[in-house]
Amino acid sequence: MAHLGLFVKILLFALFLSIVIRYVALQPFVVTDNAMAPEFREGDVVLVNRLSGFGHNSFVVFRDEESKERSLRRIIGMPGERISVSDGIVSIVDEAGARTVQELPLFGTVALTLPGVGKIDAHEVFVMPDHATQSFYGLIDTRHIIGVPVVRIYPFSRITFFNK
Per-residue pLDDT tens over the stretch 31-44: 999 989 999 999 99
Q: Which domain holds residue 80?
A: 28-161
Domain assignment present for residue 13? The answer is no
Q: How far apart are CA 112 and CA 122, in angstroms?
A: 26
What's the whole-number mean pLDDT along residues 77-94?
Answer: 84
Domain assignment present for residue 22? The answer is no
Per-residue pLDDT tens over the stretch 111-139: 555 556 688 999 999 998 887 555 677 88
Q: How far apart are CA 107 and CA 114, in angstroms?
A: 11
DSSP 121: P
Domain assignment present for residue 15? The answer is no
Domain assignment present for residue 21? The answer is no
Q: Which residues contact 12 (CB under 8 A, 6 or more apart)?
A: none
pLDDT computed for residue 5 by the predictor: 81
**Domain of 129: which CATH number?**
2.10.109.10
Laid out side by side, the sheet with 82-86 consists of: 100-105, 89-93, 82-86, 118-119
Task: Output 163 or 47, whichever has higher pLDDT.
Answer: 47
**What pairs with residue 148 in β-bridges?**
49
Instruction: Work out how many domains the chain is built from and give that number.
Output: 1
Domain assignment present for residue 96? The answer is yes
Amino acid letter, residue 53? G
Q: What is the pLDDT confidence band of residue 29, given thresholds at 50, 70 and 90?
A: very high
What's the whole-number mean pLDDT along residues 65-83?
Answer: 90
pLDDT computed for residue 110 by the predictor: 53
pLDDT computed for residue 107 by the predictor: 58
The values of phi and psi at residue 111, to 5°, are -60, -30
pLDDT computed for residue 108 by the predictor: 56
Domain assignment present for residue 77? The answer is yes
Domain assignment present for residue 18? The answer is no
Domain assignment present for residue 17? The answer is no
Amino acid letter, residue 142? T
Q: What is the pLDDT confidence band of residue 18, given thresholds at 50, 70 and 90?
A: confident
Predicted TM-score (pTM) of this structure: 0.79
